[in-house]
Amino acid sequence: MKVSECRRIFEMLSEYLDRDLPDDVCQDIDSHIAGCSPCVEFVESLKKSMHLCRSCKSMDEPGPLDPAARDELYAAYKKAVAERKKTRASEVAARDRGH
């Protein structure tokens, strides 16, 4: 097993698993993997990851916010901005008094 060969294999694994590579390249990868336990472990791990990703259902996008919830969030945002401005003004005044 050569590290450079493993790296070359790793670079092509997704395409290999999807069988998007030419047959001769897939055969070369098959041969390498058959004799390389680290690559076997990595391929099996990647296969499991791909299976899990494909089996996950995509989440539907949420609908628009309820108007009351939107108003509540906007009021909270405005309050936070006002408090931040007040805090900054106090910090500037304290700094100016100190100089």
**CA–CA gap between residue 15 and residue 17 (Å, rounded):** 6
21 — pLDDT class (breaks 50, 70, 90): very high
4 — pLDDT class (breaks 50, 70, 90): confident
The answer to pTM > 0.75 is no
**CA-closest candidate to residue 13, choices 48, 56, 38, 47:** 47
Comparison of pLDDT for 15 and 62, the residue scoring more: 15
CA angle 74, 80, 81 (to 5 degrees): 90
Write down the mean pLDDT value for the chain.
Answer: 86
Would you say residue 40 has pLDDT above 80?
yes
